[in-house]
């Protein structure tokens, strides 16, 4: 595709609005409202989110799946030795991005990440489908491997060894991002998008609008 073709790709957003008199004062409740609407819209992978981390001044981003949230934070699970796990071990500041193009919405969330307890991680691990548990056990995520056959052989050997009760890897578990900033974005006509920010203060949340 040439540059002119790209520059002519345009879409006029007109599926919603985000006004100060119609939002919750609590960003977690506002997120819950939007997420419920996402679930009711039958969007594919509604809990997919981009996780951005950084270490040594080198940013890195990837898609992970949200596996729980409450008024403390947003949870996901991974291999602690992965690139993201290593980034977070030296720099716990991170950002999440949800993009629901069908509703012309996105939510940015910034905060600090902490590990979940071993007990909570184990409870979630044991709730996963058996094949997914073996996937976590077989994969030393982000490690260089010789080929796919190596991974599939390891997967089969572990299944033969552990049967229906694979152990949770020692280097696998959950993280929780505890937010200090939310930005809710709603696409609007003429590129005059709505951007509402919630910024944590010592006692509450400060709410303000950004220019698009």
- Active-site residues, by number, are 191
List alpha helices for 41-114, DSSP H.
83-90
Strand, helix or coil for residue 155: helix
Q: Please state the separation of Cα 108 from the chain's center in Å.
A: 10
List alpha helices for the chain, DSSP H.
3-7, 27-40, 83-90, 118-127, 130-138, 148-162
Number of H helices, E strands in the chain: 6, 9
């Amino acid at each position: 595709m040439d540059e002119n073709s790209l520059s002519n790709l345009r879409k006029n957003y007109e599926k919603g609005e985000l006004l100060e008199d119609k939002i919750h004062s609590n960003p977690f409740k506002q997120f819950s409202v939007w997420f419920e609407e996402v679930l009711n819209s039958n969007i594919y992978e509604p809990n997919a989110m981009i996780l951005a981390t950084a270490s040594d001044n080198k940013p890195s981003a990837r898609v992970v799946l949200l596996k729980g949230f409450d008024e403390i934070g947003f949870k996901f699970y991974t291999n602690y030795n992965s690139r993201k796990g290593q980034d977070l071990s030296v720099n716990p500041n991170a950002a999440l991005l949800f993009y629901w193009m069908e509703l012309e919405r996105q939510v940015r969330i910034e905060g600090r990440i902490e590990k979940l307890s071993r007990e909570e991680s184990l409870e979630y691990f044991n709730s996963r489908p058996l094949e997914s548990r073996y996937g976590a056990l077989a994969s030393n995520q982000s490690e260089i491997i010789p080929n796919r056959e190596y991974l599939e052989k390891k997967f089969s050997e572990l299944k033969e060894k552990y049967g229906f009760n694979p152990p949770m890897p020692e280097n696998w578990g959950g993280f929780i991002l505890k937010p200090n900033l939310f930005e809710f974005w709603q696409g609007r006509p003429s590129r005059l998008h709505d951007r509402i920010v919630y910024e944590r203060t010592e006692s509450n949340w400060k709410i303000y609008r950004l220019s698009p």
